[in-house]
Amino acid sequence: MVPRARADGVPASEAASSAGLPDLLGAAVCVLDERGVVAHLNGRAERLLGWDAADLVGRNAHDVLQRDRHGQPLPRSQCSLLQAFLSRCPRAGTGWFERGDGSLVELSWLIAPYAEAGADADALVIFTDADRAADLPSGPGSALSELERLTLLADTTTQLTSTLDSDEALNRLVHLVVPRIADWAVVDLITEGDEVERAIVVHYEDGVYAAREDLQGPMPPVPADSPMPLSRALRGAASTLVTPQTYQGPPDSGIALEQARLFEATGMHSAAIAPIRGLRDVLGALTLGRVEPRGPLTPVDLSLLEDLTRRTGLALDNARLYQRQRKVAETMQRHLLPQLPSVPGLQMAARYLAAPDDSQVGGDWYDAFTLADGMTALAIGDVVGHDLDAAAGMAQIRSMLRAYAWSHHESPSAIVRRLDGSTSLAGVPMVTLVFGVVEQSADGAWQLTWTNAGHPPPLLISHDGQARYLNDGHGMLLSTGLTPVRSDASLTLPPRSTLVLYTDGLVESRHRPIDDGLERLRKHAASLAHRPLPAFIDLLLERARPADDKNDDDVAILAVRTP
């Protein structure tokens, strides 16, 4: 077969041999996609399996490679490698494989889930000659074998790259290395203010993980010239093997004093300390320690520790960058949301809750402001999208609505028609909106007039707990390019009643129909009708969404209560 060539002129065999594969200590590595088809193959795997990458990539690994000891195709039900692939759990084993020339070879294998951004990858398979792996497994007090080291590195890559939460990443790291390598794990982090925090001190005893919170907390500053191992690691120096004797002399700094206390409290007789480096800065240090009866850590363990901290540094860098960007975006959106006006006779409360996981920020917003004629305008809306563009579009839509409402003494539906004709200026794809005004009549009653542009209906709750949705005045959402007919609806708000305007994140979920969410909101609002307005809105926000929906979407909510 003639090797295929890519558009950049690189032969397909070369591209398939190297594309997307991590540096795993020179192992024979094969990457499978979600169908079990070979997606990539490195050079060592080509030599061990006896296949050119160009001939193997794109073919089902089980069908082409797996055989029984007699060279016959292996039934899928009897293939332990295939079962491990389908279970998505890291496993190891041995098996017979057909080489490119038709001969058989017995290999040990390790498979683990694997995902790389932008790559067609689902699982990572590491092959080892069965004779070389014959000395597996190693005991708890001995050094890890080559295959165990590769297993740990593959697990670490998978576990740490699948989360953007730095605390979760560190907890996963601890569970990977303790008690696999050591009895104790200690993580010291450098904060954004250049202070040192001992974030984790964990050991494994009697089958459980236990944290020593008394040893955690703030640490003294890092000395600029201290030769002690932790101080050097926090300055980015090379990893070091340490014993209690290292810290028995007079301490040269507060950190050295804390390290002496750590060794005394934990009983570690051997430890290894390595810096956790990000792309630009040192992020902290990882200390692994052993107690009797395990033997001391060795330079081989030090090499493994450096590989682990390198992966940890990249994971923490990504997590910190994500959190920093998210905080900036969310802060910007919160500053764009308005302060509520003080209207004699009316109580108002509003909340904005950002979705903590999938969405960074969104286009959910609320507004309330006093018009030139003394009426009070109320608005709740949602610009489609969950990014900075949606937040910026939201700010423009809100500003245009305010301008139209202030300068044109027209009904809510007329104001929304003007806004609909101008949404192209904000460059937003679609917008839903409820816009209304409330005014007090001569007899003291409060009158609400509103229009709805494709938004969930307002909810009105009387003081005695009767709750109903205001479905009148409903029309098409904004920015469709059409010119729909819009209408107004009016209602006299009962005394001590509560009007709730909200965005769809409060009632909509991928886990249940929106009708269920609306009914849930109605019931909880009715049960909370007697609560003071701040408590009402906080409890409603907490109870209206089940726990499994907390991360679905951001939410804006505006509540108004009459006297």
- CB neighbours of residue 358 within 10 Å: 9
- Which of the 8 DSSP states describes residue 66? E
H or E element in which residue 396 lies: helix 388-407
Residue 204 is predicted with a pLDDT of 85
Q: Which two tokens stand for residue 407?
A: 């300068």
CA 428 from chain centre, in angstroms, equals: 26
SS3 156: helix
C-alpha pair distances (Å), 458 with each of 71, 73, 461, 471, 560: 70, 65, 10, 8, 11
Quick check: 318 and 163 in contact, CB under 8 A?
no
Quick check: 230 and 262 in contact, CB under 8 A?
no
Strands 91-98 and 104-113 turn out to be: antiparallel
- CB neighbours of residue 337 within 10 Å: 18
Q: How would you write 497-526 as a 3-class SS string?
A: CEEEEECHHHCCECCECHHHHHHHHHHHHH
H or E element in which residue 176 lies: helix 166-177
Which of 516, 497, 493, 498 is closest to 506 using CA atoms?
Answer: 516
Which amino acid is residue 177, in one-letter code?
V
Q: Which two tokens stand for residue 471?
A: 């479905």
Which of 490, 515, 497 is closest to 459 using CA atoms?
Answer: 497
User: pLDDT tens, position by position, for the chain (563 residues)?
Assistant: 333 333 333 344 444 444 445 444 457 889 898 889 999 888 888 988 999 989 999 999 999 999 988 888 998 888 888 888 887 777 777 889 999 988 888 888 888 877 654 455 678 888 887 555 434 334 444 457 677 777 788 878 888 877 888 889 999 999 989 988 899 999 999 988 889 999 999 998 877 899 999 999 999 999 988 999 999 999 998 889 999 999 888 888 999 999 999 999 999 999 999 999 988 899 999 999 999 888 899 888 888 899 899 999 988 988 888 777 667 666 666 666 788 999 999 999 999 887 655 445 567 889 999 998 899 999 999 987 666 677 677 888 889 999 999 999 899 999 999 999 888 776 777 899 999 999 999 899 999 999 999 999 999 999 999 999 999 999 999 988 888 999 999 999 999 999 999 999 899 877 788 899 999 999 999 999 999 999 999 999 999 876 655 556 789 999 999 99
SS3 141: coil
Cβ-Cβ contacts under 8 Å for 360 (sequence gap 6 or more)? 325, 326, 329, 330, 386, 387, 388
Q: Angle at the Cα of 337 (from 335 to 338), degrees rounded to 5?
A: 105
Quick check: 347 and 463 in contact, CB under 8 A?
no
Residue 330 is predicted with a pLDDT of 64
Residue 196 is predicted with a pLDDT of 95
Q: Which residue has the tokens 């390598």?
A: 181
How far apart, in whole angstroms, are the C-alpha atoms of residue 75 and residue 63?
9
SS3 262: helix
Cβ-Cβ contacts under 8 Å for 302 (sequence gap 6 or more)? 239, 240, 241, 272, 274
Strands 474-475 and 446-453 turn out to be: parallel
SS3 233: helix
C-alpha pair distances (Å), 19 with each of 28, 119, 236, 310, 435: 14, 9, 31, 21, 54
State the chain's maximal CA–CA distance in angstroms.
98
Tell me the HSE value of 311 on the side-chain side, using a 13 A CA sphere: 25
Specify the pTM.
0.52
Hey, what domains does the chain have and what are their CATH numbers?
12-134 (3.30.450.20), 154-326 (3.30.450.40), 337-561 (3.60.40.10)
How far apart, in whole angstroms, are the C-alpha atoms of residue 282 and residue 189?
9
How far apart, in whole angstroms, are the C-alpha atoms of residue 94 and residue 466?
68
Q: Which two tokens stand for residue 339?
A: 């302060």
Exposed e or buried b for every residue in 61-71, given b needs 16+ CB within 10 A? Answer: bbebbbbeeee
How far apart, in whole angstroms, are the C-alpha atoms of residue 405 and residue 437?
10
Dihedral over alpha carbons 273, 279, 281, 284 (to 10 degrees): -30
H or E element in which residue 328 lies: helix 299-336
